[in-house]
Structure 1
């Protein structure tokens, strides 16, 4: 990591799927990024099973053309996802490496509406500053600490109740194929080589999930596809000329691979 002066690996902490510890991990990352640099403009959270479908150059241009917009899925939970209301109506406790469903009922926050979406987001620096430091967020944080799968609802609820919703786009720009999975209702399917055409011809910036133990071929295919696209981008004779967005589909992709969670720095 020494060659990347704008990157850092934070000390590991224990987190658990479905627990508020996932939210705390993101807030911790946002705080550290804000301390590290004043130059980045967007926060993009990714997991180790995500993969880019567009180049860093494409993503940078896209975000520069859409300044101030927040890309996060958010729908009113009571009307659109009523089957998930037990996540906030009941008290859940994360402790001893487990999540305990107490079955104890509780009222929801006064003068606040619950919202829900997915964990994945592309949000601006201003929102990161707001959600990590504004005192009005504290009561929402205290409530969701004892909820289930808070990472799919906490940020949406903050944004839709006390944040700036004027530039919210109900889209996380991820290619995800949701399939039924018992108690949690839905889970993302692992992509395979059979999805190659769909993944390389879509509009989304990232895709999830991938599992190299299940299908390594799709990862190799995407790496090769993006590498050839990056070479095509470098072949432009005059770098001062603006590259038309869709000259050939390959120009929409690139070879840079993302992993973990972090921020994309948009350089002037």
Structure 2
């Protein structure tokens, strides 16, 4: 069971190193996309690590912009073109961390071969707060003076946007674990449907919708499992999830998930130490 962990990172080199160490395994490879704004010298330690590759041609990633989709797609292409016959691609951020041992994670995917794990809720019926992302024009991916004024007038004067290619929109969390066949399908679909790329470049936070929508409207729909395998705490109702601390450990373990986010090694170093100890104790029982 060969797994390619695709990690999107922009800071905290020590935490990224710890994440990779926690997932190292004989059949695990790591493909790291570093935000173009990041100081690559701070991550120079990656160049000498076994089975760790940096994604070339880095993207300047903006929050809520299509650029994060572009960074992910460059990772997808690098992994598909690596020549390694991977079974799964596991998309992580540098703020994620496993809740189970590498061998247990690989065993899980071996038992669930062919399934694709992601959150996908109907935008029209379940995740209705996302509707304006698709019906309005968003210039988040662009940077020029007066862009918000232009965006405002676009939404006043232009017709309401509608989904291209008759796609039924679904989505939620961007973090997912996909078979390599599903990843290849996404790349081939976008190569053959430039209007879909054009549409999502004007969508706010398209990374939470584009991949799920493509696979939901494809022959892969029957393989989808509506579970991204991540413990994430949105209870504070903010734009970003809660940074996890020791008080969250019991809920993390009770979730049965493979991964959790998000963590901050600088602020709460003790929580990752507790996670490591728990995984080790469980693994050697």
TM-score bracket for this pair, using the shorter chain length: 0.7 to 0.9
Q: SS in structure 2 opposite 1:64?
A: helix
Q: Relative contact order (alpha carbons < 8 A, sep ≥ 6): 1 or 2 greater?
A: 1
Q: Is the 8 A contact 2:165 2:196 kept in 1?
A: no
In structure 2, the partner of 1:26 is: 72
Q: Is the 8 A contact 1:53 1:206 kept in 2?
A: yes
* 1:160 and 2:213 correspond: no
Distance 2:120 2:65 in 1: 19
Q: SS in structure 2 opposite 1:71?
A: strand
Unpaired runs of 5+ in structure 2?
1-45
Cα shift at 1:163: 4.3
Distance 2:163 2:80 in 1: 31
Distance 1:125 1:97 in 2: 37
RMSD: 2.3
Cα shift at 1:202: 3.2
Cα shift at 1:16: 0.9
145-154 vs 38-47, greater mean Cα deviation: 38-47
In structure 2, the partner of 1:254 is: none
Distance 2:128 2:267 in 1: 34
* 1:214 and 2:267 correspond: yes
**Bigger fraction of residues in strand:** 1
In structure 2, the partner of 1:226 is: 279
Cα shift at 1:73: 0.5
* CA shift digits 1:232-257 (9 cap, x unpaired): 2xxxxxxxxxxxxxxx5xxxxxxxxx
In structure 1, the partner of 2:54 is: 9
Q: Is the 8 A contact 1:140 1:158 kept in 2?
A: no
Instruction: After TM superposition, list the pairs within 5 Å mapping 1:30-179 onto structure 2.
Output: 30-93=76-139, 94-96=141-143, 100=148, 102-103=151-152, 104=155, 105-134=160-189, 135-179=191-235
* CA shift digits 1:57-111 (9 cap, x unpaired): 1111111111110000101101112222111111112122898481423233252
Distance 1:147 1:197 in 2: 37
| TM superposition score normalised by structure 1 | 0.78
Distance 1:204 1:138 in 2: 36
Q: SS in structure 2 opposite 1:62?
A: helix
247, 262, 265: which one pairs with 1:194? 247
Unpaired runs of 5+ in structure 1?
233-247, 249-268
Cα shift at 1:213: 3.7
Q: Is the 8 A contact 1:90 1:102 kept in 2?
A: no
Q: Is the 8 A contact 2:98 2:259 kept in 1?
A: yes
Q: Is the 8 A contact 2:121 2:170 kept in 1?
A: yes
Count of residues in correspondence between the two structures: 229
Q: Is the 8 A contact 1:70 1:169 kept in 2?
A: yes
In structure 2, the partner of 1:262 is: none
